Amino acid sequence: MYDTFVFDLDGTLLDTLGDLAAAVNFALRTHGMPEHSVDDVRRFVGNGVRRLMERAVPDGEQNPLFEEALTTFRRYYLEHSMDTTRPYEGIPEMLAGLKQRGKRLAVVSNKFQTATEELCRHFFPDTIEVAIGENEAAGIRKKPAPDTVFEALRRLGYPLTTRLSPLTSEKAVYVGDSDVDILTARNSGLPCISVLWGFRDRDFLLSHGATTLIASPEELL
């Protein structure tokens, strides 16, 4: 049905929660702040690194050590982003199957650009063609703005007249695990498939407008 699949990364293709929690707690510990459980971090993720740390650091951006903690997080995570991170079961096979069928595959993430590219290169070198991460310095707003999706589609050859034009093609679909992904798909004019193996459960996704849910990667084939 679809020719192009645009995937979220964390919680959709990769289980990154352990490494994210370790980086958050390293930054907090380094700057004398209380640490969080993995379940806490699960609730914090989804809106980019800065928002993650705003939720993790006491008083968020108002904390005088916030920027230092954020810098520590970024540095540590870049060095430890693959310590425990792995694809969810069935993901490599699903991507390979879509690729064999001639589908175009991209990743858009609120993870910063360098980490997004490195993780996709490491885990999906033969399947993911385009990987777009957070890069607002380049004028590409993070999700749920449609910018990263439109940039990925542009690089895949879609004839978008401008980066922010509504997408009229019905050949692409967005796949993600969160409320941010549902909004991103809506803002991009794409249908959304919400996955149930990620960081949010069925009730949460339905309460945030999910319409199509899948329980295993093979359902995309």
Beta-strand relationship, 4-7 and 172-176: parallel
Q: Specify the residue for token string 């295993």.
A: 216
The beta-carbon contacts of 186-195 under 8 Å, at least 24 apart in sequence, are: 186/144, 187/144, 187/145, 187/146, 188/146, 188/149, 188/150, 189/146, 190/6, 190/149, 193/220, 195/11, 195/12
Beta-strand relationship, 14-15 and 86-87: antiparallel
201 a catalytic residue: no
Nearest to 197 by CA among 8, 4, 59: 8
Which of these is catalytic: 3, 8, 126, 147?
Answer: 8
DSSP string, 167-204: P--SSEEEEESSHHHHHHHHHHT--EEEESSSSS-HHH
Which residues are tagged catalytic? 8
